[in-house]
Amino acid sequence: MFDLYFCPRKAAQLRAGPDASWLLSLLEELHQIGYARHTIRSYLREAELFGRWLRRRRRPLASLTDADVLAFATRRPLRHLRCNARSAGNHVLRHLRDRGLVPATPSPAPARIEQVIAAFDKHMLNAAGLAANTRLYRQRYAREFLLSVFGTGPIKWTQVQIKHVRAFISTYGQTDRTAAAQVAAGSLRSFLRWLQFRGLINSQLPGAVPLFRRWRLAALPHVLTDHQLAALIATFDRSTSVGRRDFAMAVCMVDLGLRVGEIEELELDDVDIAGRNICLRSGKPRRQRVVPMTNRVNEAVVDYIRRDRPTTTDRHVFVRHRLPTGIGVGVSRELIRGVIRRAYAAVVPLPIMLAA
């Protein structure tokens, strides 16, 4: 099977390596699912590096966790998250769990913790009016915090101390990803304020959440020059249907300033071809907006819908064209971010952050 995807020298190297057994079974699984050839080759290369990385740290497969995947994807000298590395690591972890070589995924949070999270989510929706994605990640950090303090035991709010708050946030500050640490801190602070409002915890706990230093003007985004912007748009292969879809999504972001979430949720009924405008029914403002399309956007979107979009009952404008997720299924935020990150990396070798 290695010979189907790699040259004879590389195939022989993989067969002779210490990870040959699970690399081969992973390759067979990806092949059976129907991943594209270049995707399988990319994942296998990252999986091989993952195996070497684990051996250098003397980590047996049985001890592999999700935290190891994140550490591998953000390892030095890398300066930002490697999307292929994380995807490949997740595939490896799932595959090894399926084969019984790695313990199964940890059991879900106890019901009593989920009850607290459900009440917190109800408050965020009804009182704060937060968007679904914002509530989702705040639930995640609140759940992780409760598990770190109480585990599977009973919830006793008097046991929550400042040291628990600082210990939890410090774990996110050790990965050199300041933005992620700030999100975790903000989410936990919101959760603790809600608990304080209900009179369940000490009033000093919300103020104990650490603050992460942000240099003045450091949050300002990098601006592409006109030449770089033109080069980014030119990276898309418009000779293929997938390339034309990615080009249409990119020009929607560049010309209209659409966010990743707005492109993901864009539906056919939102595109007025005759009026040459797009109706945005969601997003941060949480109100309907009508945005006129530029000539480039109009041509790209209309050409994709009429020429390349697969026949499907899904109403999203931009859909998937390949297995295994399913042909004709609406694109995800992760797919859109990956498309733009790859184009950006081909033009400017710097990390990029995309707004949700």
45-75 pLDDT tens trace: 888 988 888 888 888 877 787 777 777 777 7
Q: Is the peptide bond before 77 cis (omega within 30 degrees of 0)?
A: yes
Say how far apart CA 248 and CA 236 lie, in whole Å: 10
The per-residue pLDDT for 351 is 44
Sketch the domain layout of the chain as residue ranges. Answer: 2-98, 111-208, 226-347
Q: Give the helix/strand (H/E) hosting 271.
A: strand 271-272
Q: What are 292's strand-pairing partners?
A: 277
The Cα-based distances of 326 to 34, 206, 208, 247, 319 in angstroms read: 10, 44, 46, 21, 9
CB 31 within 8 A of CB 1: yes
Q: Give the helix/strand (H/E) hosting 290.
A: strand 289-292
Say how far apart CA 1 and CA 333 lie, in whole Å: 33
Sign, Cα dihedral of 23, 28, 33, 38:
positive
Which CATH number is 226-347 given?
1.10.443.10
Give, to the nearest 10 degrees, the angle between helix 178-197 and helix 111-123. 90
The per-residue pLDDT for 287 is 67
Low-confidence ranges of the chain (pLDDT < 70): 76-84, 105-109, 173-179, 213-222, 282-287, 323-325, 349-356
* Sheet arrangement for strand 289-292: 271-272, 277-280, 289-292
The residue type of 339 is V
Q: Give the helix/strand (H/E) hosting 184.
A: helix 178-197
The per-residue pLDDT for 325 is 62
**CB neighbourhood size of 202 (10 A):** 15
The per-residue pLDDT for 296 is 94
Cβ neighbors of 315 (< 8 A, separation 6 or more) are 267, 268, 269
CA atoms within 13 A on the CB side of 275: 10
Give Cα 289 distance to the centre of its chain: 26
Say how far apart CA 19 and CA 99 lie, in whole Å: 14
CB 29 within 8 A of CB 95: yes
Say how far apart CA 164 and CA 149 lie, in whole Å: 7
The per-residue pLDDT for 333 is 86
The per-residue pLDDT for 349 is 58
CATH for the 111-208 domain, from 3.90.1640, 3.30.2420, 1.20.1050, 1.10.150: 1.10.150
70-115 pLDDT tens trace: 777 777 654 444 556 777 788 888 888 888 877 776 656 678 889 9
The per-residue pLDDT for 299 is 94
